């Protein structure tokens, strides 16, 4: 746009380009996106392009500002736009698009159509609502304080009256994304990476919580097409009716990630950005302050979909209800990082939080000034989840590119209407829509967009809405690549597709237009000349720094630091003159946030609270340092012990990853005391033991203390490490690196710093913090008869008294609860409320409750009454496998879980009426058999609810996800859908079923699965849905960008049943083992969490990585501490390219310090040695029938070694290799080898059986 054009547009805005008077103006009301706010507050949005007022003139302003009757002659429209977020605006149109709201502002009958629900609202470009507060032309007698009403007779003429026959109707909603991206699909199981339209999309059930962890009513689900006012709408534009919603795209909407300079981050991978927005923490565990819009925001929707995250899962900190108040942007007691009602609130909050990261329209960096003025910056994003390798900022070039290596976090923004605007009369830009003036308004925009798209330089386009959109945003026909509007439900991320509507003339015009906002130099690179602005705190409060009324900050030398000033700007020219206080947590003054800051952080704390001294940084002493700007991590306006805990829990990164153990230890060491004053249930306090204090009785439903606020700040501690903490850890088992698990867990439960919450963390609390032993139920320091007495006590939750916990007990409890029977008053306070339901989770003596440890893991009955304390006092009979004459063996006896194990919560599974059921859906992970199977036939029956999701894991390992360590035959409520590699009957992410044979939800189904070698057959309800398919190159790990071929997965493993968060029932589970070498009973696992049962020699490095024993470098060996003579050993093994290892037996470490090779036998692991290849007894015995290795690099195989006296045999994947007699060695250790530098070897499920 030329400067002349700008001048003319201003003239038009002032009404100097006017036309013939309208008899009376017409009302047009819109509601929706904050990202498109710039359009609807600009004069261009109501500039006449199609001669909408019929006066044969164009380029005149149809909505000059005038709120008082009689209206000026040129006012054809009175236009309002409510800035509430795309989805919220869509809901307002859904609710008030066919009927009129008539209540006063604030009337509950208006639903959300009230002023306090809006971030802003405009009347003919002038604000009448700002930050949920009315001003200017606002009229409290009208819904939403709208300055006018219209007649309800179909004319939509303006009226100043408020009586019968008047009201406010929402004619359109502006969205940053297509309508389909906002519509929930609750027909399937919710999952973090569902794409629009997929079953389960938009249906995350998680509710927001308050600062104290108490649950709020604010949800994260997307919108439905059902209005509470009655109508049910549809998007069937091919067969429209009176309730069909049409999308009219007008712009591409790139959404950026604004970041506070205090974060110290310039670029991020998309996978990391997704993790951060889904959990509140980065993949490293670092706890930043993720600022989010509410789920009704189109900006949030476009951003989350753009980073491969279902928008309903983009919860960030998940703190607080929806808010449009600026009070919640400021640091202090009212600070709230989540559910922001508008982009202005988002941006202000990120400015104030020195750890803040958010999402907002890229163009707002210029239109709101925060980027060009140096108040905030933008993150460059590498779209690794989409195959990208370049860190891209939202420059005009990158946005127009839109590919995996361009900037591709964007939606297709447009205007949604009930009915097609193009069906309005021709004089209104269409042919026949009822709300013709609203249609004319929409058509005025879309026709101008089409004109600019066709001929960008045509002078007739000057000042038009289309020209404005082309300058401020990016028109849809500009980009080379765009997100697919209606992706296939199986996609893990919305695909990027070539833009079929692209106009190359427009593309080149935009790329060379210096006036486009995204062409500004500020978008091209990170601003290193600014440190951002000083955060603003809520005034009228005296904070811990002692500043009366909280009117400013003070540095340690007493210098006043004003709110909103530029950090480090000493001469008031907005440039940074010094970089002190720029990086949050940089207490030592070296310009970075590192573990070295802890000592200075404690000195700063003592300076504030204990009259201590601090020089402002041990690396760069500086009196301008301000502890509150540097250290108010949680946003309450203070720097205090809560922030020190925040550091230890979420900011202490060692080697790039969070290490809570190191963080809490460093704090205590620097303070020289038990800094947090933590006490222990037993044992003596050592530095860092406070890390174990993560929960209280309240965290598990038994009190009023603070509950944990996972992802936000460490909030659940009660000052004592005891059984409550152990239980809470047990409830949060999961691998942080796996986002599907991370979204459900609290990383504060990681006690040992490995970013996995598992049994090792329980052991860390019990053994290393409480100085006790596993089995010490009463936490008195030993495991003795007192602990056995606790386990033996009756189970109060067994209401029916038959010795089992089942659905009958649920029914009995609910009956007692409904009748106010004292038996249901679990809290004993004399009333009946949710706390009794919560207390029924535990149902044990309260004096013993806090000492129960992991014996109190919740079992739950369909999520209603959750029984804890395992089955103590409620035991059932042990399993006795029944072997049938035809070779079938019952895996489930219908009475107990004997023969089964679980890496999740075993008590989340149970037996009810002879069926195996998920008692506490979502906590059971995978239930697996005690034995492994290679070749087999498996039969079972399953019942699933509507939207149910489960699966049968085959050949999986004891750790990790069996769907990928082995493979999974899917169980999913997909009745009536087309078969795909994720639907019921498929091999998940690998082999699609041939047909859809699953019964409707609520009915029983049967599986008959046969796996032999590298083939699989599956019958579902008697229909062969997979017929002799090869376990070949197909398959991927969660995303097609991560290939994981079936042929490279384990060739033997456990049978597993998945708990995916839904109530499932199984019965008649039996197996016929067809393996040539079935696994014998009694095998003992050797890989322990800390490798305490092993010792290492020489130069190899050994780690337990999620249950996988990994060896690197070499030469060196890892030996069992025990020695074995006659035994059978089995293991799953994988080596990298040119990898070399071996499984040693009857071996001793070499006494020669210069000789790393042990003395004994070695079952070789080498896929390339032509002589000593895998399966050979190294240099001693070779197979007669195999002259080449049967194994490949980077592919799992199972190794079996059996030694009886001098008879030694080996097998690879069931194939016999060596069969020989050797008598040189008779007793020794078992060992595994790391042969050389560059070597990476992996072992899973090493098991041994000693032979008599």
CA distance 597 to 11: 57
* pLDDT for residue 837 is more than 70: no
Quickly state the pLDDT bin for 1112 (edges 50, 70, 90).
very high
Residue 567 CB contacts under 8 Å (≥ 6 apart), including other chains: 261, 531, 532, 533, 534, 576, 581, 582, 629
Those residues whose C-beta lies under 8 Å from the C-beta of residue 966, and which sit 6 or more positions away, are 953, 954, 955, 956, 957, 1049, 1050, 1053, 1054
Residues 568, 636 contacting (CB under 8 angstroms): no
pLDDT of residue 869 exceeding 80:
no
Domains 908-1073 and 1084-1250 share a fold: yes
- The per-residue pLDDT for 796 is 53
The values of phi and psi at residue 9, to 5°, are -65, -40
The closest of 578, 575, 558 to 566, measured between CA atoms, is 575
pLDDT band at 419 (very low <50, low <70, confident <90, very high): confident
CB of 323 closer than 8 Å to CB of 345: yes
Bridge partners for 375 per DSSP: none
CB contact at 8 A, 894 and 767:
no
Between strands 377-378 and 258-259, the pairing is antiparallel
Q: pLDDT tens across 702-758, in order?
A: 444 568 899 999 988 999 999 888 888 878 888 999 999 999 999 999 999 999 998
By mean pLDDT, which of 430-439, 871-880, 1220-1229 is the weakest?
871-880
Q: How confident is the model at residue 824 (pLDDT cuts 50, 70, 90)?
A: low
930 vs 899: CA distance, rounded Å: 5
Which residues on neighbouring strands pair with residue 29, listed in sequence order? Answer: 80
- Residue 988 confidence (pLDDT) above 70: yes
CATH 2.60.120.560 corresponds to the domain 1084-1250? yes
CA distance 869 to 845: 11
pLDDT value for 156: 87
Which SS3 state, helix, strand or coil, does residue 88 take?
Answer: helix
Cα–Cα distance measured from residue 1202 to residue 1194, given in angstroms and rounded to the nearest whole number = 25
Angle formed at CA 181 by CA 176 and CA 182, multiple of 5 degrees: 85
* Contact present, 1218 and 1177 (Cβ < 8 Å): yes
CA distances from 1051 to 58, 970, 1056 (A): 74, 19, 15
Length of the chain in terms of residues written: 1252
Distance separating alpha carbons of residues 811 and 815, to the nearest angstrom: 6
What whole-number distance in Å separates Cα of residue 222 and Cα of residue 869? 37
Q: Give the model's pLDDT for residue 212.
A: 85
When pLDDT is cut at 50, 70 and 90, the band that residue 789 belongs to is: low
494-516 mean pLDDT? 93
Strand partners, 1240: 1112
Q: What is the pTM of this model?
A: 0.65
For the chain, what is the total number of helices (H) and then of strands (E)?
A: 23, 54
| Distance in angstroms (rounded) separating the CA atoms of residues 639 and 632 | 5
pLDDT band at residue 5 using 50, 70 and 90 as cut-offs: very low
Buried b / exposed e over 77-99, threshold 16 CB at 10 Å, is bbbbbbbbbbbbbbbbbbbbbbe
* Residue the block writes with tokens 């980027």: 371
DSSP 8-state code for residue 272: H
Q: What is the pLDDT of residues 954-970, one digit of tens each?
A: 999 998 899 999 999 99
Mean pLDDT of 776-798: 64
In this prediction, residues 1112-1135 reach a mean pLDDT of 95
pLDDT higher than 50, residue 1037: yes
Reported as a single tens digit per residue, the pLDDT across 60-104 is 999 887 767 777 777 899 999 999 988 889 999 999 998 999 999
Closest CA to 441 of 73, 29, 34: 29
**Whole-angstrom distance, CA of residue 317 vs CA of residue 281:** 9
Verify cis geometry, omega within 30 degrees of 0, for the bond prior to 1115: yes
pLDDT at 428: 57
pLDDT-derived band at 1022, boundaries 50, 70, 90: confident
pLDDT tens digits along 642-654: 999 999 999 999 9
Which whole number is the average pLDDT over 850-876? 29
Question: Alpha-carbon dihedral of residues 63, 65, 67, 71, nearest 10 degrees?
Answer: -60
- Contact between 1187 and 1039 under an 8 Å Cβ cutoff? The reply is no
What's the mean pLDDT in 983-995? 95
Over pLDDT 70: what percentage of the chain? 87
Q: Report angle CA 1166, 1168, 1171 to the nearest 5 degrees.
A: 80
Which residue did the predictor score with more confidence, 394 or 574? 394
What integer best gives the mean pLDDT of the chain?
87
Ranges 229-233, 310-314, 384-388, 1018-1022: which has the least confidence: 229-233
Mean pLDDT of 1067-1073: 93
Tell me the per-residue pLDDT of 116-136, one tens digit each, with 9 for 90 and over.
999 899 999 899 999 889 999
Residue ranges of the domains in the chain? Answer: 3-175+415-463, 532-637, 908-1073, 1084-1250
Q: 908-1073: which CATH topology?
A: Jelly Rolls (2.60.120)
Which contiguous run of DSSP H or E holds residue 304?
helix 298-306
Q: Sign of torsion, CA 1029 1032 1035 1041?
A: negative
How many angstroms separate the CA atoms of 816 and 948, rounded? 30
Q: 400 in helix, strand or coil? A: helix
Beta-bridge mates of residue 1007: 940, 1020
- The strand pairing partners of 1057, in sequence order, are 927, 952
Angle at 871 between CA 867 and CA 874, to 5 degrees: 105
- Distance between CA atoms of residues 1049 and 1037, nearest Å: 11
Strands 560-561 and 410-418: unpaired
Give the Cα separation of 622 and 748 in Å (integer): 34
């Amino acid at each position: 746009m030329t400067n002349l054009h700008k001048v003319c547009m201003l003239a038009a805005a002032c009404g100097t380009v006017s036309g013939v008077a309208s008899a009376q103006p017409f009302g047009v009301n819109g509601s929706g996106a904050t990202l498109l706010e710039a359009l609807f507050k600009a004069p261009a949005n109501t500039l006449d392009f199609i001669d909408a007022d019929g006066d044969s003139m164009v380029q005149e302003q149809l909505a000059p500002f005038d709120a008082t009757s009689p209206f000026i002659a040129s006012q054809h429209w009175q236009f309002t736009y409510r800035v509430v977020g795309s989805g919220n605006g869509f809901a307002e149109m859904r609710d008030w698009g066919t009927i009129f709201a008539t209540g006063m502002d604030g009337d509950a009958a208006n639903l959300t159509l009230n002023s306090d629900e809006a971030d802003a609202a405009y009347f003919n470009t002038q604000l009448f609502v700002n930050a949920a507060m009315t001003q200017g032309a606002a009229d409290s007698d009208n819904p939403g304080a709208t300055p006018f009403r219209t007649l309800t007779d179909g004319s939509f003429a303006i009226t100043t009256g408020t009586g019968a026959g008047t009201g406010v109707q929402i004619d359109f909603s502006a969205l940053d994304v297509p309508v389909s991206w906002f519509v929930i699909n609750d027909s399937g199981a919710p999952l973090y990476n569902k794409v629009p339209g997929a079953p389960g999309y938009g249906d995350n059930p998680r509710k927001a919580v308050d600062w104290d962890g108490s649950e709020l009513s604010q949800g994260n689900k997307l919108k439905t097409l059902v209005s509470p006012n009655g109508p049910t709408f549809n998007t069937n534009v091919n067969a429209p009716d009176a309730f069909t919603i049409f999308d009219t795209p007008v712009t591409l909407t790139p959404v950026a990630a604004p970041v506070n300079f205090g974060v110290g981050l310039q670029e991020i991978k998309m996978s990391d950005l997704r993790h951060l927005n889904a959990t509140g923490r980065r993949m490293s565990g670092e706890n930043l302050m993720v600022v989010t819009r509410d789920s009704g925001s189109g900006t949030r929707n476009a951003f989350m979909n753009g980073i491969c995250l279902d928008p309903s899962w983009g919860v960030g900190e998940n703190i607080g209800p929806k808010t449009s108040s600026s009070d919640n942007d400021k640091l202090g007691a009212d600070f709230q990082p989540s559910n922001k009602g508008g982009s202005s609130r988002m941006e202000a909050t990120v400015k104030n939080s020195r750890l803040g990261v958010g999402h907002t329209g890229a163009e707002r960096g210029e239109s709101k000034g925060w980027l060009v003025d140096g108040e905030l910056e933008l993150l460059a994003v590498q779209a690794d989840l989409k195959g990208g390798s370049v860190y891209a900022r939202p420059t005009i070039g990158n946005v127009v590119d839109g590919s995996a290596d361009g900037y591709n976090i964007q939606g297709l923004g447009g205007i949604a209407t009930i009915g097609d605007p193009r069906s309005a009369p021709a004089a209104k830009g269409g042919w026949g829509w009822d709300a013709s003036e609203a249609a004319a308004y929409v058509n005025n925009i879309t026709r101008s967009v089409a004109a600019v798209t066709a001929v960008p330089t045509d002078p007739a386009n000057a000042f038009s809405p289309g020209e404005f959109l082309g300058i401020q945003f990016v028109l849809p026909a500009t980009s080379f690549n765009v997100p697919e509007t209606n992706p296939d439900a199986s996609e893990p991320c919305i695909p990027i597709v070539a833009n079929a509507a692209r106009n190359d003339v427009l593309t080149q015009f935009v790329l060379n237009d210096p006036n486009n906002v995204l062409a500004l130099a500020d978008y091209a690179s990170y601003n290193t000349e600014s440190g951002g602005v000083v955060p603003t705190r809520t005034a009228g409060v005296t904070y811990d720094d002692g500043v009366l009324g909280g009117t400013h900050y003070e540095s340690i030398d007493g210098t006043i630091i004003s709110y909103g000033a530029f950090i480090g700007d000493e001469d008031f020219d907005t440039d940074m003159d010094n970089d002190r206080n720029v990086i949050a947590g940089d207490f030592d003054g070296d310009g970075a946030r590192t573990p070295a800051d802890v000592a200075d952080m404690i000195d700063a704390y003592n300076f504030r609270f204990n009259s201590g001294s601090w020089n402002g940084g041990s690396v760069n002493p500086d009196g301008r340092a301000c502890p509150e700007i540097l250290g108010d991590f949680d946003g309450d306006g203070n720097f205090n012990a809560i922030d020190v805990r925040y550091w230890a829990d979420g900011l202490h990164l060692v080697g790039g990853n969070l290490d809570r153990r190191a963080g809490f230890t460093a704090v205590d060491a620097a303070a020289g005391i038990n800094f947090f004053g933590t006490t222990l249930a037993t044992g003596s306090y050592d530095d860092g033991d406070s890390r174990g204090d993560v929960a209280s009785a309240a965290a598990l439903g038994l009190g009023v203390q603070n509950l944990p606020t996972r992802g936000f700040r460490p909030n659940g501690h009660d000052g004592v490490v005891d059984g409550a903490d152990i239980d809470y850890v047990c409830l949060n088992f999961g691998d942080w690196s796996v986002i599907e698990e991370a979204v459900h867990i609290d990383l504060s439960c990681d006690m040992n710093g490995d970013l996995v919450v598992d049994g090792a963390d329980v052991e860390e609390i019990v053994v290393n913090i409480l100085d006790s032993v596993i089995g010490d139920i009463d936490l008195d320091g030993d495991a003795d008869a007192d602990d056995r007495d606790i386990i033996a006590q009756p189970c109060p939750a067994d209401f029916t008294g038959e010795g089992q916990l089942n659905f009958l007990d649920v029914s009995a409890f609910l009956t007692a609860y409904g009748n106010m029977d004292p038996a249901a008053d679990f809290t004993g306070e004399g009333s009946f409320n949710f706390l009794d339901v919560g207390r029924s989770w535990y149902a044990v003596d309260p004096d013993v409750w806090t000492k129960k440890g992991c014996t109190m893991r919740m079992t739950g009955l369909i999520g209603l009454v959750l029984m804890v304390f395992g089955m103590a006092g409620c035991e059932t009979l042990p399993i006795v496998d029944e072997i049938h004459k035809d070779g079938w063996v019952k895996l489930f006896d219908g009475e107990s879980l004997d023969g089964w194990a679980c890496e999740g919560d075993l008590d989340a599974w149970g037996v009810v009426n002879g069926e195996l059921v998920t008692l506490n859906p979502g906590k059971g992970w995978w239930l697996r058999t005690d034995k492994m199977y290679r070749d087999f036939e498996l039969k079972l029956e399953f019942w699933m609810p509507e939207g149910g999701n489960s699966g049968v894991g085959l050949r999986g390992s004891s750790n990790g996800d069996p769907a990928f360590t082995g493979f999974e035959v899917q169980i999913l409520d997909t009745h009536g859908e087309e078969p795909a590699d994720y639907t019921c009957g498929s091999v998940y992410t690998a082999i699609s079923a041939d047909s859809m044979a699953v019964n409707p939800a609520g009915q029983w189904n049967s599986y008959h699965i046969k796996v032999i070698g590298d083939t699989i057959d599956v019958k579902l309800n008697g229909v062969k849905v997979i017929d002799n398919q090869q376990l070949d190159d197909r398959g991927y790990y969660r995303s097609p960008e991560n290939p994981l071929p079936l042929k490279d997965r384990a060739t033997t493993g456990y049978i597993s049943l998945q708990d995916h968060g839904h109530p499932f029932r199984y019965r008649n589970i039996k197996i016929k083992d067809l393996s040539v070498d079935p696994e014998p009973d009694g095998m003992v696992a050797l890989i322990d969490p800390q490798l305490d049962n092993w010792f290492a020699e020489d130069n190899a490095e050994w780690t337990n990585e999620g249950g996988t024993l990994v060896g690197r470098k070499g030469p060196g060996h890892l030996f069992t501490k025990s020695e074995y003579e006659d035994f059978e050993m089995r293991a799953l093994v994988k080596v990298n390219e040119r990898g070399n290892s071996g499984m040693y037996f009857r071996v001793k470490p070499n006494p020669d310090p210069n000789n790393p090779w042990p003395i004994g036998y070695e079952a070789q692991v080498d896929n390339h040695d032509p002589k000593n290849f895998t399966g050979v007894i190294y240099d001693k015995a070779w197979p007669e029938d195999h002259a080449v290795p049967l194994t490949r690099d980077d592919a799992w195989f199972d190794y079996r070694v059996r030694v009886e006296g001098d008879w030694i045999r080996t097998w690879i994947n069931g194939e016999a290799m060596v069969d020989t007699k050797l008598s040189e060695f008779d007793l020794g250790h078992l060992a595994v080898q790391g042969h050389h530098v560059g070597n990476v070897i992996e072992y899973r499920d090493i098991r041994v059986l000693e032979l008599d």
